[in-house]
A and B are shown apart, each in its own frame.
Chain A
Amino acid sequence: MTSSRQTRDRHRSSTWLEGPAFTGLRNAHSQRPAYREEAAQRILGGCGLMGVCDQSGKRMSGELALRSMASMHDRGNGLGGGFAGYGIYPELPDYFCFHLLYNDEVAKDDTEYYLKKHFKVVMEEPIPTKPVRGIENEPLLWRYFLDIPEERLLETQLSAEDYVVHTVMDINTYVDGAFVASSGKNMGAFKGVGFPEEIGEFFRIDEYKGWTWTGHGRFPTNTPGWWGGAHPFALLDFSIVHNGEISSYGINRRYLEMFGYKCSLQTDTEVVAYLFDLMLRRHGLPVEIACKALASPFWKDIDLMPEDQRKLFTALRMVYGSALLNGPFAIVLGMADGMVALNDRIKLRPLVAARHGDVVYVASEESAIREICPHPEESWMPQAGEPVVAWVSEKGRRKATAQAKVSAGQRRMAQGQAPVVVT
């Protein structure tokens, strides 16, 4: 373990604040088993996935995603399922919500010590679950709504988003037995070992409403499933569900390491999430352009493009060649304001899309769409490398959040709880 730490240290970017000095952890070098060691083998496999996005901002029950995934039961093998919902925390939409998986109480203590040192914890609570046959050995599941003290940002000279990325990397790398499943605002990832419909029931996702949902069922081929390894993978507002294998993982990972990302999970899906974070948030690329770097057109097509476009696409491949996701994949990216589905550059994994009114659907199988929308106005097979993009209107999101806030406060009061008050 010492030697693996040293190797990692050698690969660190000098611009990255981290380590015990930054984390202030008491036992950052403890010898307890860590999630990352459970995930020391790369996780390969096939999967089923779906995404649904109401562009008007209307919030849909998580039950929709659950039902759609259940119809693709056979695409998974019960070793991992999960969902991400957007717009699900209208009561506290402006705070970073961390979903945490803990091996044990020690991991929880360590993490909470860390969180309290770096954030103002606005609210903390166990993630509500219910017993489901087939779901066992679940970790401790907690969520925290966090605010960043202004002086911490001044001290570290980081943007709020970068600050969160650092802390997520810190916890996942240095706190043994703790794993941040999601860290965005007004969104959350619910995932674990089991079939997706079991996981959805376990997390009671039918009780949440969101304008975007993504879902995933895993078929890992060579590792025992572990809760952290299930999809979606999430960082800030980005969440990824992924079917396929990134054959270029080795260089994608080394490329990301140059920008300070630590790929602690050894799964190729993790690099997809970080690549979107890098290209969309840090480099400010439009998502359609980022998709053209991740699943780039072939040179034979680029060479025939009009001058301006050829220049752009040539530069994209020159500069982001190491970010090219090569190998079979279909992914659905969840974002604060929308959803993107993308196939690899030669479409080696299935992906179907449909639209009905304001709602855009994507899934590995058309049946999974028709399960929740029997007669879509249009449905199509997205071309290789052509992203399906759905944006949720900002007005719609604001309206839905405001409405939900009122009703959520009323609900809590009706349940005999205090309405959430944040000072």
Chain B
Amino acid sequence: MAYTTFLPPEFRVVIDKEACLQCGRCVQQCGWSVYTWDEAERRPRPDHSKCSACHRCVTFCPGSAITVKHNELAFKRSDSMSPDLIKAVWKQAETGGVLLTGMGNDKPYLRIFDHLLLDACQVTNPSIDPLREPMEMRTFLGRKPDSLEVSTSGSSLRGTSVSPAASARLLTELDRQLQLETPIMFGGMSYGSVSLNVHRALAMAAAELGTFMNTGEGGLHADLEPYQDHIIVQCASGRFGVDTSYLQAGAAVEIKIGQGAKPGIGGHLPGEKIDYQVSITRMIPQGTDALSPAPHHDIYSIEDLRQLIYALKEATGYKPVSVKIAAVHNVAAIASGVVRAGADIVYLDGFRGGTGASPTIIRDHVGLPIEIAVATVDQRLRDEGIRNRASIVAAGGIRSSADVVKAIALGADACAIGTVALVALGCHVCQKCHTGCCSWGICTQRPELTRRLDPEWGASQVVNLVRAWTHEIAEVLGALGVNAIESLRGSRERLRGLGLDQTVLDVLGVKAAGS
């Protein structure tokens, strides 16, 4: 047979010939090489099969001549064999490979966040106007003692008018904490999977917002050193870029055990993405594939994790250690073990979390929603009386400020965003991160593409986004009649479930709407 492929193009690029200025900018902008320049007719010709619907050309076409449409080929209707499944079969029949994809799970599983409703004050307790009153978002991540010891200068306390609050001294020595001015931080995205300009933008934004960016597993580029007080350095199974100075550079260290988009498997950054800068940052030879093993080969059980946690604490002068785990079925028990092993922060990554590259089967079928993970972990740690010992960060599926509010009400101390931070930088969620052709210069190392992202502009985009979300969270707090984020944290009483079955409600510890 002479077919090249059975696969029809997913999209159709439609160019309005009247509007086209014949400038050729689309040819220049497309990272996927969709367009070729037809010299004879002096106009671009699209190859529809290469289009990812990233809209780079649409955005930059000066004549607004381009639209991208779904290639709506009719397939015989079937509730079982959908066109997507048929195409997946063809793809694998033609290549014999594992299907790869990028970004987060896009399957229509129940979106629990969208079935949770928030409370508001009426009459008996007043709502608070966030434009007039302070709304406090400051959050501390790290281990806290159960109680404090306070000295009150001698016995003069009782029966005197001297304010003891002014003379009291704290005797308890607290562990080091991460101080966030808003309960939103950035999830780990490695340099190598994303471009250095993305890292620069996120680091600048984190410093300006008073929060933290996370290096991911690709090491810390020297250019980011000025921002290191706002950077969490990750130590993952590949140990890329890890040495003492790297560990000491960050405000905290994160041990990445798992990732929501691909629980239980490692990573593979192809050699083409390992240019000189990536290679020195990751401390691997240029052009070699960067393979992260599925497990850490020095962590085969919880006692090994404990050793690594304390090794990292020793190396960093007892900075907080975060342990990132994917939300899987037994996440509550795992998190309890992680806390008992000495972690100061448990970073939970839900199954909708993004990735630079993952086998589609893993991304779409493995893991748990972050809502379930946060609720069960928070409750488990409380049941065991160890909730104070670690903070919970919820990530992997945080799409809006409403999600942040609900995750915190379920029990998270803070949320981390990855995908939406990239969206603020121009990402159109085309799910082709693994190809390295990102026209927006985000998920690529091709210099002609990465230079498209101006870090300072990117930082301002991300700062705007997080500031806007923080204002929205303040609006919700005000409506709830509280003025500090700690009064929302774990306050499931302020949530009601609508359209969730009783089992899910019980797991979430949330009452049904109306009850």
Contact = CB atoms under 8 A, between A and B. Distances in A.
Given A251-B487, A300-B134, A7 B382 contact: no
Interface string B174-200: 100100000000000000000000000
A326 B484 contact: yes
Contact of B487 (A15, A248, A318, A337): A248
Given A247-B487, A251-B487, A326-B487, A318 B140 contact: yes
Interface residues of B, number: 54
Interface stretch (B145-153, B236-244, B451-459): B145-153
A288 B165 contact: yes
B125 A324 contact: no
Contacts of A338: 158
B121 interface: yes
B384 interface: yes
A289 interface: yes
B383 A319 contact: no
A337 B150 CA distance: 20
A44 B125 contact: yes
Contacts of A46: 124
B152 A286 contact: yes
A319 B124 contact: no
A394 B293 CA distance: 69
Contacts of B115: none
A394 B487 CA distance: 37
A337 B121 CA distance: 37
B388 A326 contact: no
A254 B382 contact: yes
Contacts of B338: none
B168 A312 contact: yes
Interface string A286-321: 101100100010111000000011011001111111
Interface string B156-180: 0111000111101110101001000
A298 B136 CA distance: 8
Interface stretch (B7-15, B308-316, B488-496): B488-496
Contacts of B172: 315
A321 B168 contact: no
Interface stretch (B23-31, B279-287, B420-428, B475-483): B475-483
A324 B150 contact: no
Given A44-B124, A258-B387, A288-B164, A308 B169 contact: yes
Nearest to B152: A286
B507 to A, nearest CB: 11
Interface string B464-508: 000000000000000011111011111111100000000000100
Interface in A180-230: 221
Contact of A11 (B133, B383, B388): B383
B87 interface: no
B168 A289 contact: yes
A86 to B, nearest CB: 16
Nearest to B382: A258
Contact of A312 (B159, B170, B385, B506): B170
B168 A286 contact: yes
Interface residues of A, number: 61
Interface string A30-62: 000000000000001110000000010000000
Given A247-B487, A284-B149, A322-B486, A312 B169 contact: yes
B493 A253 contact: yes
B378 to A, nearest CB: 9
B226 interface: no
Interface in B110-149: 121, 123-126, 128, 133-134, 136, 138, 140, 144-149
A251 B490 contact: yes
A300 B170 CA distance: 20
Contact of A319 (B134, B379, B388, B484): B388
A244 interface: yes
Contacts of B165: 288-289, 292, 309
A284 B147 CA distance: 9
B123 A221 contact: yes
Contacts of B385: 13-15, 258-259
A254 B490 contact: yes
A326 B148 contact: no
B383 A283 contact: no
Contact of B159 (A12, A55, A292): A55
A156 interface: no
Nearest to A255: B490
A305 B123 CA distance: 36
Contacts of B159: 55, 391, 393
B479 to A, nearest CB: 10
A167 B157 CA distance: 32
A286 B506 CA distance: 39
A299 B138 contact: yes
Contact of A321 (B150, B152, B486): B486
A309 B150 CA distance: 11
Contacts of A319: 144-148, 174, 388
A250 interface: yes
A318 B385 CA distance: 17
A218 to B, nearest CB: 12
Contacts of A251: 486-491, 493
A249 interface: yes
Nearest to B149: A284
B125 A309 contact: no
Contact of B492 (A10, A250, A309, A345): A250
A324 B484 contact: yes
A45 B385 CA distance: 32
A357 to B, nearest CB: 14
A337 B157 CA distance: 13
A402 interface: no
A309 B164 CA distance: 11
B164 A289 contact: yes
Contacts of A249: 491, 493
A243 B351 CA distance: 45
7 contacts: A13-B385, A248-B487, A288-B157, A300-B134, A315-B148, A319-B146, A322-B490
Given A11-B379, A15-B385, 8 more contacts: A250-B490, A253-B493, A288-B163, A289-B150, A289-B152, A298-B136, A321-B484, A337-B158
Interface of A: 7, 10-15, 44-46, 55, 221, 244-245, 247-251, 253-255, 257-259, 279, 282-286, 288-289, 292, 296, 298-300, 308-309, 311-312, 315-322, 324, 326-328, 337-338, 345-346, 348, 391, 393
Interface of B: 121, 123-126, 128, 133-134, 136, 138, 140, 144-150, 152, 157-159, 163-166, 168-170, 172, 174, 177, 379, 382-385, 387-388, 480-484, 486-494, 506
Across the A-B interface, give the 3 residue pairs with the lowest CB-CB distance, nearest first.
Answer: A250-B493, A321-B486, A250-B491
